[in-house]
A and B are shown apart, each in its own frame.
Chain A
């Protein structure tokens, strides 16, 4: 069944589909394709990326703390995460007696689903985009907000004081970071005139000076930095890791999770780190464009797409590595500091960026002759 779907997705079956009507045929093909692509993506792209990110985190943490980190399983310890995953599969998944069972089991699924669904709009190359949604960027923000709901579900269902405290912190953090995250993502949308991530990426061809970072200078540069910080808060990474805060809350919202259900939270966190970094790189860092004038990925066929995919993965991994670097550099903020930072600094600055970008598009760009 699965290979069948794969073949349908890659080979295409337009020719021999005796569909009753145009809509039915298109629908059939797109659903079969969509299923096939999501299987390919989940098996071949997202899981290895997340496993690699976990390995990278452990090795980088080791380097930053002047120790070695996992280096025994496979070359340079690359298979360590896989081995840990197998170990976790064999562990019992405990459920506390007083826990809310249906919600307790549903929570990791919701978190996992939201992290993986965001990959649907991440373009990998000029011709390799899972979907070309017109509302792509909004889709990322919408599906990303589902993740917080899953986390709240987990903390509430655990019936544990640490978990509940973590949950309340998540809920407070969500309302604080979500607005600057959305507004800073609107800045490139405004300057590009589309919400389609693939189209925004395609506008950044040529040299690195054409990247979204420099559009409506300095609005997009500031928006990129804000988006990155708000994304850190979204991912509950240091310095915004209050919901898990190991030194205060044991493990926060996932204190009661063990075995495979814990590792699903873990995998989803790294998958989300990668995809948010990937989206940021497509909005501001050229996505699959190389940034070298003359090396145009779009005209190189399959090899261009492969190069593009490597560019997206490389840029996203670079941002992921910066997130890891920040984790060992900055101390954790207090709850009130997070609120103040998001509401009193990120929000006004992101609004100012939006206003400047609007002024750029409506006033400055026409004056400069439409080349901005």
Chain B
């Protein structure tokens, strides 16, 4: 029994992280692809939700607990509800809308290629620090010990080094909010 348990734990330790990572990465890629090709717009929306949740799991695996949870709150709790609002209010879209023409391909590429380039550039330039590994190497966490997490550090950085971008983003959101309220009220009277 104890021998079997040891083997099981060792196997989980050796292959577990890799299996989990490739599983979640596969889920993210598959659901992102399905969100693009799905015939029904509501399938696209819910597939996108699976994709967002999977990305949050990847963040958690990289040791970014705050980012992972925020991803779920913002994208699944906020953006997804708004997308669903859109889906509910637009009803089932006519078939023509989802047909791909040359124009839509060109427009799509014009957006997708720069975004892809920026992402690849960012991913290639990052030295991926595995926080959990570094922490485990420094001091193995005791059973039941509390992990301080990344929240306090992120908060400090946001209110010191990155104060300007942080405040600027909030002004941007405020502008969007006021604009949306004005548009919803029917523009200038």
Q: Which of A4, A29, A129, A152 contacts B84 (CB 8 A)?
A: A152
Q: Name the distance in Å between B85's Cβ and chain A's nearest Cβ.
A: 6
Q: How many A-B residue pairs have CB under 8 A?
A: 158
**B149 vs chain A, min Cβ distance (A):** 3
Shortest Cβ gap from B5 to chain A (Å): 5
| A residues 105-148 touching B (CB-CB < 8 Å) | 106, 127, 129, 132-135, 138-139, 141-143, 145-146, 148
* Contact among B10, B81, B148, B149 for A148, CB-based, below 8 A: B81
Most buried by B among A12, A18, A102: A18
Q: Out of A8, A100, A138, which one reaches B5, CB within 8 Å?
A: A8
Give bound CA distance, A157 to B144, whole Å: 43
| Binding site secondary structure of chain B | helix
- Name the distance in Å between B130's Cβ and chain A's nearest Cβ: 8
Contact of B136 among A23, A133, A141, A196 (CB under 8 A): A23
Instruction: Verify A32–B12 contact, CB threshold 8 A.
Output: yes
B13 touching A7, Cβ below 8 Å: no
Question: B136 touching A22 by the CB < 8 A rule?
Answer: yes
* CB-contact partner of B149 in A8, A134, A174, under 8 A: A134
Contact assessment for A22 and B140 in the assembled complex, using a CB-CB cutoff below 8 Å: yes
Query: Which listed residue, B3, B10, B73, B137, touches A141 by the CB 8 Å rule?
Result: B73
| Assembly CA distance A146 to B13 (angstroms) | 30
Q: Which one, A13, A106, A139, contacts B2 given CB within 8 A?
A: A13
Q: How many chain B residues touch the partner (CB < 8 A)?
A: 52
Residues from chain B with Cβ under 8 Å of A103 in the complex? 42-43, 46
A83 to B134, CA, bound (A): 52
Taking CB atoms, residues of chain A closer than 8 Å to B11 are: 28
- Within residues 161 to 190 of chain A, which ones have a CB less than 8 A from any CB in chain B? 164, 167-168, 171, 174-175, 178, 182
Q: How far is the CA of A16 from the CA of B140 in the complex (A)?
A: 17
The smallest beta-carbon distance between B162 and chain A, in angstroms, is 20
Assuming A135-B69, A142-B76, A195-B151, is B40 touching A18 (CB within 8 A)?
Answer: no
B1-26 vs A, CB cutoff 8 Å, 1 = contact: the mask equals 11111101111111011000000000
Q: Which residues of A contact B40 (CB under 8 A)?
A: 100
Instruction: Verify if A73 is at the interface (C-beta below 8 Å from B).
Output: no
Tell whether A153 is near chain B: CB-to-CB under 8 Å.
yes
Contact B132 A31 (CB under 8 A): no
Size range of the chain A interface in the assembly? 35 or more
Nearest chain A residue, comparing its CB with the CB of B49: A149
Q: A141-B73, A142-B76 are in contact. Are A19 and B151 (CB under 8 A)?
A: no
- Determine if A20 and B13 form an interchain contact, defined as CB atoms under 8 angstroms apart: yes
Inter-subunit contact B12/A31 (CB<8 Å) = yes
A29–B85 contact, CB under 8 A?
A: no
B42 touches A26 (CB 8 A): no
Q: What residues of chain B lie closer than 8 Å to A178, measured between beta carbons?
A: 77-78
A19 to B80, CA, bound (A): 41
Partner of B88, one of A28, A132, A134, A171: A171
A14 to B143, CA, bound (A): 10
Q: Which 3 A-B pairs have the closest CB atoms?
A: A134-B149, A28-B13, A145-B77
26 A-B interface contacts by CB (under 8 A): A8-B5, A13-B9, A16-B5, A20-B14, A22-B136, A22-B140, A23-B132, A23-B136, A27-B12, A100-B43, A129-B144, A134-B66, A134-B146, A135-B69, A138-B66, A141-B73, A143-B72, A145-B77, A149-B81, A156-B88, A157-B42, A164-B88, A171-B81, A171-B84, A178-B77, A199-B146
